[in-house]
A and B are shown apart, each in its own frame.
Chain A
Amino acid sequence: QKEVEQNSGPLSVPEGAIASLNCTYSDRGSQSFFWYRQYSGKSPELIMFIYSNGDKEDGRFTAQLNKASQYVSLLIRDSQPSDSATYLCAVNFGNEKLTFGTGTRLTIIP
């Protein structure tokens, strides 16, 4: 069974600080990795994807991938109250579909 694990939180971070969200996965052969953001009562929206080891930056968001250790993380710099949401990690295990973690609930404290 291919699995994606996330700490459910809640994770509380002061406004302006860096929020760090982590995700581990079970298959070393996995190819592509995604972070989705889901506001309460809304559907998930894609915010980052990463395919190669290392860092990928997009504005205040940085995705980090370490395939040897089988983890992917999302850093949010200068956290804003609007970043308060549940963040879902998703992995393509090479079987033509995405497997999601259960999500980490992030709260930014003003």
Chain B
Amino acid sequence: DVKVTQSSRYLVKRTGEKVFLECVQDMDHENMFWYRQDPGLGLRLIYFSYDVKMKEKGDIPEGYSVSREKKERFSLILESASTNQTSMYLCASSPGGAGEKLFFGSGTQLSVL
């Protein structure tokens, strides 16, 4: 089974803090994605990556950055957390091809106070 592991299930941070969300997959997938999920807005793509050291902006990249130094690890960075970044963050990976058949991690519920 594909396993996508997110480092924290719940996080509480203060406004202005730098926040790192980590994601690791164990199936040698090429593609990795970061989404956020908010009630009534569904899943929205923040950033994605097709290869090590490569990244592409999704639909809502503002206020976020990413890092992919190794194939299995994809990190989401909130440079200066704000209250409107309180959300459920979901990491996903896929084996290749156009972002299909996503396998999701269990999610990180981030609260920014």
- A residues near B (Cβ < 8 Å) are 8, 31-32, 34, 36, 42-46, 49, 88, 90, 92, 94-103
Which of B5-53 touch A at CB < 8 Å? 33, 35, 40-45, 48, 50
Query: Are A102 and B90 closer than 8 Å at their CB atoms?
Result: no
Smallest CB separation, B87 vs chain A (Å): 14
**What residue of chain A has the Cβ atom nearest to residue B109's Cβ?**
A41
Query: Are A97 and B40 closer than 8 Å at their CB atoms?
Result: no
Chain B contact residues: helix, strand, loop or mixed: loop
A95 to B58, CA, bound (A): 11
Number of A-B contacts (CB under 8 A): 57
A32 to B101, CA, bound (A): 10
> Which residues of the partner chain A approach B103 to less than 8 Å between Cβ atoms?
46
Mask, B98-113, CB within 8 Å of A = 1, is 1111111111000000
Smallest CB separation, A98 vs chain B (Å): 5
A48 to B29, CA, bound (A): 20
Q: A43-B107, A44-B104, A45-B104 are known contacts. Are A96 and B43 too (CB-CB below 8 A)?
A: no
